[in-house]
Amino acid sequence: MVVWLEDVRRDDVARVGRKNASLGELTRGLAAAGVRVPPGFATTADAFRGFGRENGLDQLIAAALAELAAGRLALDEAGRRIRRAMGRGRWPADTEAA
C-alpha cells in the first residue's frame, strides 16, 4: 500500500503512477549524486482505488464528469467537487496502518 520513494523506479508507473515513479527516479538519482533528499513515500494505485471505493468517489467522479460532458457543470466546479470529496475522505484501515 505504501512504498518508499527510494524503492520506486521508472518501471513502477502502473504500481504508483507516473509522478511518483518520476519522484522515485529523481530521489535515487540525486542521492547517488550526493544531494541530500528528504525521505518520502508513495501510495500505490491499489491503495488509491481502495480510498475511492471506501469514500464513494467512483460514483461522485462519474457523476461530475457526466454533468461536465452534458454542459451542466463547468470544469473548475467539477474539479472543486472532486477535490473537496477527496479531502474529506478517510483511508481504509489497512492503508492507514501501512
**Range 93-97, long-range pairs (CB < 8 A, 24+ positions):** 94/1, 94/50, 95/1, 95/2, 95/43, 95/47, 95/50, 95/51
pLDDT in tens, 49-60: 999 999 999 999
d(CA 63, CA 27): 37
What tens digit of pLDDT does each residue of 37-87 get? Answer: 788 999 999 999 999 999 999 999 999 999 999 999 999 999 999 999 999
- Entry pTM: 0.76
pLDDT at 86: 96
